[in-house]
Amino acid sequence: MNAPCKVLLISLGHPDLVPGGSPVVCQELFDELRTRDDIECHMLAAVDRESGDVHQPKEGITGFDGRDGVYLLHQTDHDAWLHRNNEPMLVESFVALLRTIEPDVVHFHHFLSVGADLIGTVRRTLPSCRILFTFHEFAAICAADGHMVRRTDQSLCERASPVRCHQCVPQRSTDDFVLRKLWLEQQLRHVDRFTCPSHFMIEHYVNWGLPRDRISHVTNGQRSRVVRPILAPPDGQRKRFGFFGQLHDDKGVHVLLRAVTLLREEGFNGFRADINGGGIQHASHPIRREIEAFQEAERQRPPAERIVSFNGPYSLDQIQSRMMRVDWAIVPSVWWEIFGLVISEAWMFGRPVICSNAGGMAERVTHEVDGLHFEMGDPASLAAAIKRACLEDGLWQRLHDALPEPPSRAAMADGYLALYQAEDALAS
């Protein structure tokens, strides 16, 4: 019997400690691989001081909560510009972990919080190890939050250049961006295979300079979150809408609120919108002020006149109860939204998606087939879609009936396993 393939997954954070799609995906992959007989899987997740007492900055790497195969990388003195580590004890601990596990595959899910320098460290420590890297957004290309949204006018960015990047991050010189790219390219050259969960992302990275033949598409997958029987929605109009996600600028909740305002002004009040999510502290000041003002105004209205409910943050264990309260999921993101886990979650519960017509959203949701698109960032366009969703007979059912199965975590794991075992490694 062959020895199992040893895989080390590296995540920017643990989903029990930090919000965000990337840690969830990494955890899903870890859980799935742990069910496979021929795989020995470990996971290393970065943790920083925002995790309170869990963070042990003098320890380098520790276990986590008694969980088998799970380790925490206690981040400290991290260079968030070049994404590299200044703390020698941390990298020395990482080398020791590599030598202890001796993985056949190290699979990075991002370099944020982890450090891009650890990629080269794997190559140096274990020269024959296969290295995979999954892009979860555009942090390598874009130093402005990795979202490729121009800070100058909030338009979607198609390409990076030192001058364009300097315009978005004026506190950094054009030279800084050249050096940053040189550094990241130098680290990423150790990667055998890159993956993206959406096809459109591949084009961005090819344009940035990565060789196309080293980038593969592997979908994000999740376990089913359906824990109870899904009850049929009540008959009649489908006029309950839900937003699921962080309340910061790029997720576009403000676009939804503005659409509600437009509809209310024209006297169209016969619908409801649930806002599910937290993290408003990460929103820009104007957007935060707008959301909070809307929330306060809504609270001042008589209950019968209220359209929007702010339900607060939720855990994945609560996703079913939140989804069951709505007929439609609205994904109004004003950035590329590289995959949109919430789309998968909506599909799990048979909810068609109304989304911005860009990026991963447009790639996954087919307009008029299994969902509706609206013009990204345009409240009037979203208002029209909401109105149509409320009024058009048979629309919901038609779209509902065409919903695809959301990608499973098993399908995701199979996609990665094929790459783990491919014969095109760079390793010497």
Partner 1 sequence: MAVRPRIVRTVIDHEDWDDVTRDEIDDDDDVDSDFDEATYLRAFPDIAEAVRRGTLASGLAHFRLAGRTEGRLEKAEYLALSQTHAGPASPQVALDTLTISPSGSTLITGWSDDRFDQLTEVDLETRADSRHNWMAFPRLARGDVERTLETPARHKFGFLLVAAPIGGNAAPPIDPRAANAPVFRFASGAETRLHRVPVVASDADLRDLALAALPTAAAGELDPEVIYSILDQHVGVQIAAINRLIVDQQRSRRLISRTGPSRGRYRGTIVTTLRAGADQIVPRLALTAGGAGAEDYEFVVVVTNADQFEAASRAARVADATLGLSLTLILQPGGDPAGFGEDAAVDAARSDRLIFMDHNVIPRDLDWAAHHTALLDRAPITQTRLFGGMLYRPDGALSHRGYYFDRETSLLTRPNDVPYQANTVRLNRLVQPSRSGPRPGPVVGVPGAFLSIDRRWYETLGGFTRHYSRAAFEDIDLCLRSLKLGFPAWVHPLPMWHFERRPPSRPEPSKGGAILNAWLLHRQWDAMIVPDLIGLNPTLPGGGN
The residues of the shown chain that bind partner 1, judged by CB under 8 A, are 79, 82, 84-88, 91-92, 94-95, 117-118, 120-121, 124, 162, 173-176, 178-179, 182-183, 186-187, 189
* Long-range CB contacts (within 8 A, 24+) of 254-259: 254/287, 254/290, 254/291, 255/332, 255/334, 255/377, 255/378, 255/379, 255/382, 256/330, 256/332, 256/379, 256/382, 257/290, 257/291, 257/294, 257/308, 258/379, 259/379, 259/380, 259/382, 259/383, 259/386
Residue 8 C-beta: closest distance to partner 1, Å = 17
Task: Give me the least distance between CB of 41 and partner 1, in Å please.
Answer: 24
Q: What angle do CA 373, 353, 326 make, to 5 degrees?
A: 135
**Smallest distance from partner 1 to CB 403, Å:** 46
Residue 389 C-beta: closest distance to partner 1, Å: 51
Output the six-digit token pair for 2.
């062959």
Q: How far apart are CA 174 and CA 264, in angstroms?
A: 46
Q: Integer distance in angstroms from the first to the last C-alpha of the chain?
A: 26
* Residue whose CB is less far from partner 1, 46 or 259: 46
165 vs 341, which CB is nearer to partner 1? 165
Shortest distance in whole angstroms from residue 120 CB to partner 1: 6
Question: Least distance to partner 1 from the beta carbon of 426, Å?
Answer: 13
- CA–CA–CA angle 16, 275, 13 (5° rounding): 20
Nearest approach in angstroms of CB 89 to partner 1 is 8
Interstrand relation of 70-74 and 61-63 (parallel, antiparallel or unpaired) = antiparallel
Beta-strand (E) ranges in 197-254?
215-217, 240-244
Question: How far is it, in rounded angstroms, from Cα 120 to Cα 123?
Answer: 5
**Please, which residue, 19 or 162, has the CB nearer to partner 1?**
162
Nearer to partner 1, 179 or 426 (CB): 179
Gap between the Cα atoms of 364 and 199, Å rounded: 10
Taking the complex as a whole, the smallest distance from the CB of residue 339 to partner 1 amounts, in Å, to: 30
SS3 409: helix
The residue among 87 and 203 lying less far from partner 1, judged by its C-beta, is: 87
- Residue number, 162 or 233, with CB nearest to partner 1: 162
**What's the burial of 237, exposed, middle or buried (CB within 10 Å: 0-12/13-18/19+)?**
middle
Nearer to partner 1, 96 or 380 (CB): 96
User: What DSSP character marks residue 281?
Assistant: G
Please, what is the minimum distance in Å from the beta carbon of residue 71 to partner 1? 17
Q: Which helix (H) or strand (E) holds 198?
A: none
In the numeric block, which tokens belong to residue 45? Answer: 């997740």
**Given the complex with partner 1, which of 124 and 299 has the nearer CB atom?**
124
Q: Kindly tell me which of 210 and 386 has the beta carbon lying closer to partner 1.
A: 210
